[in-house]
Amino acid sequence: MTVRGGIPFVVRDTAVTITGRVVNLPFLINSLHVRNKGAVVCRLYFTLADFTADENFIEIPVASTTYPYGEWSGPVETAMGPYENVYLRGVAGSANIELVAFQRRG
């Protein structure tokens, strides 16, 4: 994972297919890294509306020769309101994930 700075917030959990999981971030972030530690693809949503409708998501792949670490990372800035949390859901079962968010400063 590339480090972009900021104070880290780490979540290790299982995102269940049917209900999914909201990740309540304790602060606004500037960078997000998600690693899929299991055998089920995981979807990452940035709004509750997208999570509910199961649209506009990023898929976190299972580790393979194509994606050796099974991860996704990017510059993600959250804002107060509908963009202050992220949401996770396994595609065909429970996805075991590791999420690291970095606090936005300044």
The percentage of the chain sitting over the pLDDT mark of 90, rounded to a whole number, equals 73
Q: Specify the pairing of strand 95-103 against strand 71-74.
A: unpaired
This prediction's pTM: 0.89
What does the alpha-carbon distance between residue 21 and residue 71 come to, in Å, rounded to a whole number?
18
Residue 4, pLDDT score: 54
Residue 1, pLDDT score: 47
Per domain, the residue ranges of the chain are 8-103
- CATH T-level topology, domain 8-103: Jelly Rolls (2.60.120)
Determine which helix (DSSP H) or strand (DSSP E) holds 51, and give its type and residue range: helix 48-53
Place of tokens 């049917």: 18
Give the pLDDT mean for 87-103.
93
